[in-house]
Structure 1
Amino acid sequence: MIQNQIKERSLKVKMCGMRRKEDIAYANEVKPDAIGYIFFSKSKRYVTGQQAREIDQNLDQKILSVGVFVNETIEKVTEIANEVPLDVIQLHGDEDVIYIEQLRQQTDKEIWKAVRVKDTKDIKEAQQLPVDKLLLDTFTEEKDMYGGTGKVMNYDLIPKEGIRKPFFIAGVLHSKNIKEITKKVHPYGIDISSGIETEGYKDLKKMKEIMQITGGRHE
């Protein structure tokens, strides 16, 4: 069902960090494939399950709602996933095979796993995880830094033979570098947040620019 919801377009677009009614209205206008809510309390874009549920009620049904979790308990993840409700659960912490398998037993939603790529080995190991899709992000040595590093990922680390699982890329993406990066890497999709913001808030003009660059259509 989820695959049918995603529009047929060569490059998928997920716009993350939604937290206001205006953000949802902008998304409904530009029509990305997915939007993301961040349920990590240390993020500046953090929202509670209740806040996400309230604004998600206005989201276009054709747009996937993705919940981003970092080292959260399985009980809390499933609770929020059902409360909003979410289409996809994105794990952005240190969740391992055992955690993911246990989560699978508690939900039928798609599961995506973010990988902070330090070297090619990280990607190869991530392909063995029992998840539906991967998200490749920038690695940092900083403790408790799970995404939002402000650094562009080293895309030379992506194996030349390709990646078996569909994968998104993230890490300081914006209108000026998306064409070059996606041409080099050929990802399934992009995950963008700060690149569609001005002074910390979602910017409709920038969101439209991203959709135009990636071949999306807005009304």
Structure 2
Amino acid sequence: MLVKICGITSLEVANLAIDAGADFIGFVFAESKRKISMEYAEEISREIPKHVKKVGVFVNESLDVVRKISTVVGLDYVQLHGDESPTYCDQISVPVIKAIQMKHKHDVTKLDQYNVDYFLLDSPPGKYRGGNGDTFDWSLVKHVSKGSDQIFLAGGLHSGNVYQAIKEVQPIGVDVSSGVESNGKKDPEKMLAFIREAKKKGD
């Protein structure tokens, strides 16, 4: 099971996530309490081992900005959390993770419109696109026509529910941000507990 820890804001937090077993770390370049500058993300990125994939999160950003940040920071993936079109996604040279907000059964049909590497199925937006700590009805994923090897599950996951979520949805990976935080900061014990639960073998 792949695990992505999103909302990395310092090298210290990045190292804690990697030590806990994270496969992907996410930098948020959109409006968020976890937003990071391109310059600081590039500094952190230099210290990240190659086997850990670096993801940049964007919301309705211009292609030029996405391309520049991707190049400067050395992103392995671009995660698009806004209303980006399939054509927009096709113009990005690094692999794309397209976030789809899951509210109704018909939301799964949006996946068929995109030719991307992964889909991140997330809760409907609150104040920000993603990172709001709410789950959605996982049964909606049963209607997804794409293979589960293309699905990352997000939205309100934490160490207490991630194992059940994985059993129900069978994604290739899970994504967490607020679910491994205490008082708005990444919590080493919560990250470790989350990754342990996510990667434990099922019955």
- So what's the TM-score if we normalise by structure 2? 0.92
The answer to whether the 8 A contact 1:120-1:159 is kept is: no
Structure 1's consecutive aligned runs of 4 or more residues displaced over 2 angstroms after TM superposition are 159-165
Quick check: 1:34–1:65 contact (8 Å CA) kept in 2? yes
Q: Give identity over the alignment, percent.
A: 36
Matched, 1:135 2:124: no
Question: Partner of 1:125: helix, strand, or coil?
Answer: helix
Please give the secondary structure, in 2, of the residue aligned with 1:43: coil
Contact 2:58–2:80, Cα closer than 8 Å, also in 1: yes
CA shift, 1:129, in A, is 0.2
Q: Which runs of 5+ in 1 are unaligned?
A: 1-10
* Cα distance between partner residues in 2 of 1:155 and 1:102: 31
Q: Is the 8 A contact 1:32 1:63 kept in 2?
A: yes
Give yes or no for contact 1:166–1:188 (8 Å, CA) kept in 2. Answer: yes
Shift of residue 211 of structure 1? Answer: 1.9
Deviations 1:23-67 (A, max 9, x none): 122023122110000000x20000011110011111122100000
Q: CA deviation at 1:159?
A: 2.6
Please say if 1:123 is aligned against 2:108: yes
Separation (CA, whole Å) in 2 of partners of 1:99 and 1:111: 11
- In structure 2, distance between residues paired with 1:126 and 1:26: 33
Query: Does the aligned pair in 2 maintain the 1:31–1:63 contact within 8 Å?
Result: no
* Distance in 2 between residues matched to 1:95 and 1:110, nearest whole Å: 15
Matched letter for residue 117 of structure 2? D
Number of corresponding residues: 199
Q: 1:157 aligns with which of 140, 155, 158?
A: 140
CA distance in structure 2 between the partners assigned to 1:24 and 1:145 by the alignment: 22
Does the CA-based 8 Å contact 1:24-1:56 persist in structure 2? no
Instruction: Give the whole-Å Cα distance in 2 for the aligned partners of 1:192 and 1:61.
Output: 21
Deviation by residue 1:145-202 (Cα, 9 ceiling, x = unmatched): 3112332111121135753361111111101011111111111110001111111111
Where does structure 2 lack aligned partners over 5 or more consecutive residues? none
The worse-fitting range, judged by mean Cα deviation, of 109-118 and 22-31 is: 22-31
Give the letter aligned to residue 6 of structure 2: C
